[in-house]
């Protein structure tokens, strides 16, 4: 999916919601298997969101079966939504090339999350595929972000150096950045460095981030945001009505987005 197609989809659906498919086998309703759960969640939310983000940890733990479930889940999503493989890969160049081929060619995802710690040659392979994206970790929402991302290098936080360098390797057509919603005021600082790039923003919902604050500080002329919600949607109910509850929560978030941006 190209940047223009993604922007068109956002305005068409009046939504920039990304549903995180962090499907925890331990939290599934009684009698519901993982693939059935994913399909039900997708069916209940697809009209309200523009993207889906399976977190690979929850699939890889199941071995070959988990990879099969992931493959079938991505195929079920189809081509009317932006797909994000939340894999957080990043390795030497030839290894990263094979990671990129795994997610872009074998699984057919639009994008993959990438850790930039090893530098340029670990990121560039992910931006060599037309119509595909690298979503690079910049300023995350976890407490451990303070250990490195907010440490000062050359008199400014490391995350700013990551934004500057990585944005020079690619463009707003093939690179996005992860910026956590639990630090919304810093989105303004991020926008000074990457005004045109899309930002993937986790942390709204179960982690307590404010959607209105994210939009206030992070929106650009194209909206430029994909706001991810996982647990608050997936586990809105633990009963047999889990899909209906997920759909209702996704709809609530979409309507809030519509009020904030389009009304």
The confidence band for 1, taking pLDDT boundaries of 50, 70 and 90, is very high
Mean pLDDT over 198-205 rounds to: 87
Supply the mean pLDDT for the chain.
Answer: 93
The confidence band for 65, taking pLDDT boundaries of 50, 70 and 90, is very high
The confidence band for 145, taking pLDDT boundaries of 50, 70 and 90, is confident
Domains recognised in the chain with CATH numbers: 3-262 (3.20.20.70)
- Give the Cα separation of 48 and 257 in Å (integer): 10
- Give the Cα separation of 29 and 33 in Å (integer): 8
Mean pLDDT over 66-94 rounds to: 96
Mean pLDDT over 135-162 rounds to: 85
Signed CA dihedral, 209, 132, 19, 7: sign only: positive
Q: Which of 27, 88, 216, 251 is catalytic?
A: 88
- Lowest mean pLDDT of 178-187, 213-222, 224-233, 237-246, name the range: 178-187
| Residue 88 annotated in active site | yes
């Amino acid at each position: 999916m190209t940047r223009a197609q993604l922007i068109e989809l956002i305005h068409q659906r009046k939504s920039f919601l990304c549903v995180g498919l962090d499907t925890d086998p331990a939290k599934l309703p009684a009698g519901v298997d993982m693939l059935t759960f994913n399909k039900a969640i997708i069916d209940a939310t697809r009209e309200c969101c523009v993207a889906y983000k399976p977190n690979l940890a929850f699939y890889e733990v199941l071995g070959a079966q988990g990879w099969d479930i992931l493959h079938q889940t991505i195929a079920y999503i189809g081509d009317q939504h932006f797909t994000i493989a939340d894999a957080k890969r990043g390795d030497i160049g030839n290894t990263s090339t094979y990671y990129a081929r795994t997610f872009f060619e074998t699984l057919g995802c639009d994008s993959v999350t990438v850790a930039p710690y090893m530098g340029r040659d670990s990121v560039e392979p992910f931006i060599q595929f037309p119509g595909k994206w690298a979503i690079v970790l910049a300023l995350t929402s976890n407490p451990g972000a303070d250990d490195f991302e907010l440490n000062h290098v050359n008199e400014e936080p490391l995350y700013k150096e990551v934004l500057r360098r990585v944005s020079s390797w690619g463009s707003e057509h093939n690179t996005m950045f992860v910026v956590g919603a639990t630090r919304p005021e810093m989105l303004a600082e991020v926008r000074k460095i990457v005004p045109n790039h899309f930002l993937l923003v986790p942390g709204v919902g179960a982690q307590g981030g404010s959607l209105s604050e994210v939009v206030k500080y992070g929106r650009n002329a194209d909206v430029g945001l994909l706001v991810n919600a996982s647990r608050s949607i997936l586990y809105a109910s633990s009963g047999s009505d889990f899909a209906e509850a997920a759909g209702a929560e996704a709809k609530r978030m979409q309507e809030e987005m519509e009020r904030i941006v389009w009304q």
